[in-house]
Amino acid sequence: WDGLGYYARARNLQAAARAVVRERRGRFPRTRAEAERLPGVGRYTSGALLAFAFEHPVPALDTNGTRVLSRLFTARRSSSESRMSARLEALAESLIPKGKAWAFNQALMDFGALICTARVPRCDVCPFRSRCRAYARWQRGGQTSGRQP
């Protein structure tokens, strides 16, 4: 468990919870900027907190969601990592249906975990296949690994 970072995550969550109690009188932050000032809280955790707990229209992009959006909407990952992350975050935010932040974020994570997987994506059952840039590139032979996107 230690190698997976679970202990560090638990310590970070505990530190954040203590800060909420001590510095905010038990009131959770309502903006990303406030949430990210808590110890151990970064972009994903702040998005998850606001979207899942408070239904704020913010993305909670984990590895799965990032992969799905990258494959669907970007031709290549040529930008710097931080610039790509910012672009995907803005894209995700624009796609969240009004009042559906929880459902959108959960669906994106689930889709990446079950269909648009890292190693062997299930393009054959993907409802977005006809619009997926990574799939189109793979079909044209633009991927050197020989496997699907």
pLDDT digits (tens, 9 = 90+) for 34-85: 999 999 999 999 999 999 999 999 999 999 999 999 999 985 655 677 788 8
- 59-149: CATH class: mainly alpha
Task: Taking residues 128-143, report their average pLDDT.
Answer: 88
Task: Taking residues 7-31, report their average pLDDT.
Answer: 94
Nearest to 129 by CA among 121, 100, 144: 121
Report the alpha-carbon distance of residue 20 to residue 34 in Å, rounded. Answer: 11
Q: What is the DSSP string of 18-56?
A: HHHHHHHTTPPPSSHHHHHTSTT--HHHHHHIIIIIH--
Structure confidence at residue 122 (pLDDT): 96
Report the alpha-carbon distance of residue 23 to residue 17 in Å, rounded. Answer: 10
Structure confidence at residue 144 (pLDDT): 44
User: By mean pLDDT, which of 11-20, 24-33, 82-91, 107-116 is the weakest?
Assistant: 82-91
Per-residue pLDDT of 78-128, as tens digits, reads 567 778 889 999 999 999 999 999 999 999 999 999 999 999 999 999 999
Structure confidence at residue 76 (pLDDT): 61
